Structure 1
Protein backbone atom coordinates (compact mmCIF):
# COMPACT_ATOMS: atom_id res chain seq x y z
CA UNK A 1 0.00 0.00 0.00
CA UNK A 2 1.18 3.50 -0.78
CA UNK A 3 0.62 6.64 1.26
CA UNK A 4 0.47 10.40 0.84
CA UNK A 5 1.92 12.63 3.54
CA UNK A 6 0.07 15.90 4.10
CA UNK A 7 1.03 18.83 6.31
CA UNK A 8 -1.67 21.01 7.81
CA UNK A 9 -0.87 23.68 10.38
CA UNK A 10 2.58 22.14 11.06
CA UNK A 11 1.08 18.69 11.72
CA UNK A 12 1.72 15.64 9.57
CA UNK A 13 -0.95 13.19 8.48
CA UNK A 14 -1.04 10.08 6.32
CA UNK A 15 -3.66 9.16 3.76
CA UNK A 16 -3.75 5.95 1.77
CA UNK A 17 -3.30 6.11 -1.96
CA UNK A 18 -5.26 5.69 -4.16
CA UNK A 19 -7.81 7.92 -2.55
CA UNK A 20 -11.09 6.24 -1.70
CA UNK A 21 -14.50 7.75 -2.21
CA UNK A 22 -13.40 11.38 -2.16
CA UNK A 23 -11.61 13.88 -4.36
CA UNK A 24 -8.13 14.89 -3.30
CA UNK A 25 -7.33 17.63 -2.34
CA UNK A 26 -10.76 19.28 -2.49
CA UNK A 27 -12.25 17.04 0.23
CA UNK A 28 -9.32 17.81 2.52
CA UNK A 29 -9.52 21.54 1.77
CA UNK A 30 -13.25 21.51 2.53
CA UNK A 31 -12.42 20.32 6.07
CA UNK A 32 -9.16 22.23 6.53
CA UNK A 33 -10.45 24.81 9.02
CA UNK A 34 -12.10 22.15 11.17
CA UNK A 35 -8.85 20.16 11.13
CA UNK A 36 -6.89 23.25 12.21
CA UNK A 37 -9.42 23.91 14.98
CA UNK A 38 -9.11 20.28 16.11
CA UNK A 39 -5.31 20.52 16.17
CA UNK A 40 -5.41 23.73 18.21
CA UNK A 41 -7.93 22.50 20.77
CA UNK A 42 -6.06 19.20 21.10
CA UNK A 43 -2.84 21.10 21.80
CA UNK A 44 -4.72 23.11 24.43
CA UNK A 45 -5.89 19.87 26.04
CA UNK A 46 -2.26 18.79 26.29
CA UNK A 47 -1.44 22.17 27.85
CA UNK A 48 -4.20 21.98 30.47
CA UNK A 49 -3.91 18.20 31.00
CA UNK A 50 -2.37 18.70 34.44
CA UNK A 51 -5.52 20.49 35.56
CA UNK A 52 -8.32 18.14 34.45
CA UNK A 53 -11.06 19.92 36.39
CA UNK A 54 -10.15 23.49 35.41
CA UNK A 55 -12.62 25.62 33.49
CA UNK A 56 -10.17 25.87 30.58
CA UNK A 57 -9.81 22.11 30.36
CA UNK A 58 -13.57 21.57 30.47
CA UNK A 59 -14.08 24.10 27.66
CA UNK A 60 -11.34 22.52 25.55
CA UNK A 61 -12.75 19.05 26.14
CA UNK A 62 -16.26 20.11 25.12
CA UNK A 63 -14.94 21.86 22.01
CA UNK A 64 -12.82 18.84 21.05
CA UNK A 65 -15.79 16.49 21.40
CA UNK A 66 -17.89 18.75 19.18
CA UNK A 67 -15.20 19.00 16.48
CA UNK A 68 -14.45 15.26 16.67
CA UNK A 69 -18.14 14.59 16.04
CA UNK A 70 -18.10 16.96 13.05
CA UNK A 71 -15.04 15.19 11.61
CA UNK A 72 -16.23 11.62 12.23
CA UNK A 73 -17.31 11.00 8.62
CA UNK A 74 -14.14 12.67 7.35
CA UNK A 75 -11.99 10.33 9.43
CA UNK A 76 -13.99 7.27 8.36
CA UNK A 77 -13.83 8.16 4.66
CA UNK A 78 -10.16 9.19 4.51
CA UNK A 79 -8.67 6.81 7.07
CA UNK A 80 -6.42 9.68 8.16
CA UNK A 81 -3.55 8.80 10.50
CA UNK A 82 -1.89 11.25 12.90
CA UNK A 83 -2.49 13.40 15.96
CA UNK A 84 -5.16 14.49 16.91
CA UNK A 85 -7.15 11.92 14.91
CA UNK A 86 -5.25 9.17 16.67
CA UNK A 87 -2.24 9.05 18.94
CA UNK A 88 0.20 7.73 16.34
CA UNK A 89 3.34 9.73 15.60
CA UNK A 90 3.39 9.85 11.81
CA UNK A 91 7.18 9.79 11.44
CA UNK A 92 7.51 6.75 13.71
CA UNK A 93 4.54 5.08 12.03
CA UNK A 94 6.24 5.46 8.64
CA UNK A 95 9.53 4.03 9.93
CA UNK A 96 8.02 1.19 11.97
CA UNK A 97 5.79 0.03 9.14
CA UNK A 98 8.27 0.74 6.33
CA UNK A 99 5.63 2.71 4.42
CA UNK A 100 6.05 3.91 0.87
CA UNK A 101 5.31 7.66 0.75
CA UNK A 102 4.52 8.61 -2.85
CA UNK A 103 3.81 12.33 -2.41
CA UNK A 104 3.96 15.07 0.18
CA UNK A 105 1.62 18.06 0.20
CA UNK A 106 1.41 21.22 2.28
CA UNK A 107 -2.24 22.12 2.57
Structure 2
Protein backbone atom coordinates (compact mmCIF):
# COMPACT_ATOMS: atom_id res chain seq x y z
CA UNK A 1 0.00 0.00 0.00
CA UNK A 2 2.88 2.37 0.73
CA UNK A 3 4.18 1.95 -2.81
CA UNK A 4 0.86 2.93 -4.38
CA UNK A 5 0.58 5.87 -1.99
CA UNK A 6 4.08 7.00 -2.95
CA UNK A 7 3.19 6.76 -6.67
CA UNK A 8 0.14 8.93 -5.94
CA UNK A 9 2.32 11.47 -4.12
CA UNK A 10 4.70 11.50 -7.11
CA UNK A 11 1.75 12.31 -9.41
CA UNK A 12 0.66 15.09 -7.06
CA UNK A 13 4.19 16.49 -7.04
CA UNK A 14 4.35 16.45 -10.84
CA UNK A 15 1.00 18.26 -11.00
CA UNK A 16 2.43 21.05 -8.83
CA UNK A 17 5.45 21.66 -11.04
CA UNK A 18 5.52 24.78 -13.22
CA UNK A 19 3.95 24.06 -16.64
CA UNK A 20 7.30 24.10 -18.48
CA UNK A 21 8.78 21.49 -16.15
CA UNK A 22 5.61 19.37 -16.33
CA UNK A 23 5.78 19.43 -20.12
CA UNK A 24 9.44 18.45 -20.17
CA UNK A 25 9.06 15.71 -17.53
CA UNK A 26 5.98 14.22 -19.20
CA UNK A 27 7.69 14.25 -22.60
CA UNK A 28 10.62 12.19 -21.26
CA UNK A 29 8.27 9.85 -19.38
CA UNK A 30 6.15 9.33 -22.51
CA UNK A 31 9.24 8.46 -24.56
CA UNK A 32 10.36 5.93 -21.94
CA UNK A 33 6.87 4.42 -21.78
CA UNK A 34 6.71 4.15 -25.57
CA UNK A 35 9.97 2.19 -25.48
CA UNK A 36 8.55 -0.13 -22.81
CA UNK A 37 5.52 -0.83 -24.99
CA UNK A 38 7.59 -1.25 -28.14
CA UNK A 39 10.22 -3.55 -26.66
CA UNK A 40 9.49 -7.24 -26.34
CA UNK A 41 12.45 -7.98 -24.07
CA UNK A 42 14.51 -6.03 -21.53
CA UNK A 43 17.43 -6.13 -23.98
CA UNK A 44 15.32 -4.49 -26.68
CA UNK A 45 14.25 -1.81 -24.21
CA UNK A 46 17.88 -1.15 -23.29
CA UNK A 47 18.85 -0.97 -26.97
CA UNK A 48 16.13 1.61 -27.60
CA UNK A 49 17.37 3.68 -24.67
CA UNK A 50 20.95 3.55 -25.94
CA UNK A 51 20.12 4.28 -29.59
CA UNK A 52 17.44 6.93 -28.97
CA UNK A 53 17.99 8.23 -25.46
CA UNK A 54 14.98 10.16 -24.11
CA UNK A 55 17.23 13.08 -23.07
CA UNK A 56 18.48 13.41 -26.65
CA UNK A 57 14.93 13.34 -27.99
CA UNK A 58 13.84 15.90 -25.39
CA UNK A 59 16.81 18.10 -26.26
CA UNK A 60 15.86 18.02 -29.94
CA UNK A 61 12.16 18.57 -29.23
CA UNK A 62 12.72 21.50 -26.85
CA UNK A 63 15.74 22.84 -28.78
CA UNK A 64 18.17 22.51 -25.88
CA UNK A 65 21.70 21.19 -25.63
CA UNK A 66 21.66 17.53 -24.53
CA UNK A 67 23.59 18.31 -21.34
CA UNK A 68 21.05 21.00 -20.42
CA UNK A 69 18.17 18.59 -21.04
CA UNK A 70 19.86 15.94 -18.90
CA UNK A 71 20.52 18.39 -16.06
CA UNK A 72 16.97 19.71 -16.25
CA UNK A 73 15.52 16.21 -15.98
CA UNK A 74 17.76 15.38 -13.02
CA UNK A 75 16.69 18.63 -11.33
CA UNK A 76 12.99 17.93 -11.98
CA UNK A 77 13.22 14.35 -10.70
CA UNK A 78 14.97 15.53 -7.53
CA UNK A 79 12.33 18.20 -7.00
CA UNK A 80 9.56 15.61 -7.42
CA UNK A 81 11.25 13.14 -5.06
CA UNK A 82 11.82 15.79 -2.39
CA UNK A 83 8.20 16.94 -2.53
CA UNK A 84 6.87 13.36 -2.39
CA UNK A 85 9.24 12.44 0.46
CA UNK A 86 8.17 15.51 2.46
CA UNK A 87 4.52 14.62 1.97
CA UNK A 88 5.18 11.00 2.90
CA UNK A 89 6.57 12.17 6.24
CA UNK A 90 3.26 13.95 6.93
CA UNK A 91 1.02 10.99 6.10
CA UNK A 92 -0.87 9.30 8.90
CA UNK A 93 -3.11 6.24 8.89
CA UNK A 94 -6.22 5.68 11.00
CA UNK A 95 -7.67 2.18 11.19
CA UNK A 96 -11.46 2.37 10.83
CA UNK A 97 -11.97 -1.37 10.43
CA UNK A 98 -13.85 -1.81 13.73
CA UNK A 99 -16.11 1.20 13.15
CA UNK A 100 -17.06 0.12 9.63
CA UNK A 101 -17.40 -3.55 10.62
CA UNK A 102 -19.98 -2.56 13.23
CA UNK A 103 -22.14 -1.19 10.40
CA UNK A 104 -21.16 -3.42 7.50
CA UNK A 105 -20.07 -6.99 8.11
CA UNK A 106 -17.13 -7.85 5.88
CA UNK A 107 -13.60 -9.18 6.06
CA UNK A 108 -12.14 -6.00 4.62
CA UNK A 109 -9.89 -3.54 6.40
CA UNK A 110 -10.69 0.17 6.25
CA UNK A 111 -8.15 2.94 6.69
CA UNK A 112 -8.27 6.71 6.54
CA UNK A 113 -5.14 8.26 5.10
CA UNK A 114 -4.53 11.88 6.05
CA UNK A 115 -1.83 14.41 5.33
Q: TM-score, normalised by structure 1?
A: 0.38
Higher relative contact order (CA 8 A, sep 6+): 1
Q: TM-score, normalised by structure 2?
A: 0.36
Which structure dedicates a bigger proportion of its chain to strand?
1
Which structure dedicates a bigger proportion of its chain to helix?
2
